[in-house]
Amino acid sequence: CRIALAQLEVQIALGLNIKVTYVSSYQAQVTVLNAPRLATIGNGAFYACRNLTSVYFPSLVEVTGTDAFYNCTGLTSVTIPDSVTSIGDYAFSSCTGLTSITIPDSVTSIGSYAFSGCTGLTSITIPDSVTSIGESAFSGCTGLTGIRIPASVVSIGKSAFAGCEIKGKKLGVIGLGAIGGMVANAAVSLGMTVMGYDPYITAKAAWSLAPSVRQASDYKEIFQNCDYMSLHVPATPQTKNMINA
């Protein structure tokens, strides 16, 4: 698949079903390829197949190889079965059309650069089975709004989440005194949407806030609507157990 494909649909369910209507200058016509005992998707198997839109792995697949779906920019949907134990290096790198992906409980390692450059990726679920996240695994995933790293993870590689930008994300600031106000204003300058809550804010502090900082009715509104939160409150009986009550 390193050659240009005009149209390609791949379904890997109980086997492989590949329909190709045009293959570069070779004029090859491939209609069906059945591989019911497929256990491994090899290195570069679908490298740069830009018209590939969806993939369904057979239940026997255990490994996705290095560069398996690298630069498949048209890929929007991936279903990974619970037979897969390892996602290889660069496996889905630069698949800019992917918006979400769920990794099954069987996976223990996510390779280096596995999802790097997937700019359309907005959500990903990492199961408790994963122990290792490789170098730059999610680097450049600028669309991610949040990610949960389970307690099972013992190793996160260098720059694993580098470039997951905060621009456009929502920050909630609880406590808008001198420090909280500075944080709110700095976040606005970075392109974040900022929501603040402080029932005791002074007029001076309010005047110092950027005009775009929106007032929340209570701190629960921040919990419900923001991607990140910054807490700037004194330790008092009133603030005790505000988080993890």
- Per-10-residue mean pLDDT, the chain, length 245: 42 43 33 54 83 77 87 85 91 91 91 93 88 93 80 90 77 92 88 91 91 91 89 84 70
> CA dihedral defined by 80, 81, 84, 85, rounded to 10 degrees?
100
Asked if residue 160 lies in contact with residue 136, where contact means CB atoms within 8 angstroms, the answer is yes
Q: Identify the pLDDT of residue 114.
A: 96
Give the Cβ contact number of residue 158 at 10 Å.
10
Tell me how far apart the alpha carbons of residues 177 and 173 are, in angstroms, rounded to a whole number: 10
Give the Cβ contact number of residue 224 at 10 Å.
9
Q: Identify the pLDDT of residue 122.
A: 85
Q: To which residue do tokens 């490298």 refer? A: 47
Q: To which residue do tokens 């329909």 refer? A: 19
Tell me how far apart the alpha carbons of residues 10 and 217 are, in angstroms, rounded to a whole number: 50
pTM recorded for the entire structure: 0.61
Tokens standing for 164?
Answer: 């997951």
Tell me how far apart the alpha carbons of residues 4 and 23 are, in angstroms, rounded to a whole number: 7
Helix, strand, coil % in the chain, rounded to nearest 5: 10, 25, 65
Tell me how far apart the alpha carbons of residues 47 and 95 are, in angstroms, rounded to a whole number: 11
Asked if residue 130 lies in contact with residue 106, where contact means CB atoms within 8 angstroms, the answer is no
Tell me how far apart the alpha carbons of residues 203 and 133 are, in angstroms, rounded to a whole number: 47
Phi, psi of 197 (to 5 degrees): -140, 125
Q: Identify the pLDDT of residue 219.
A: 84
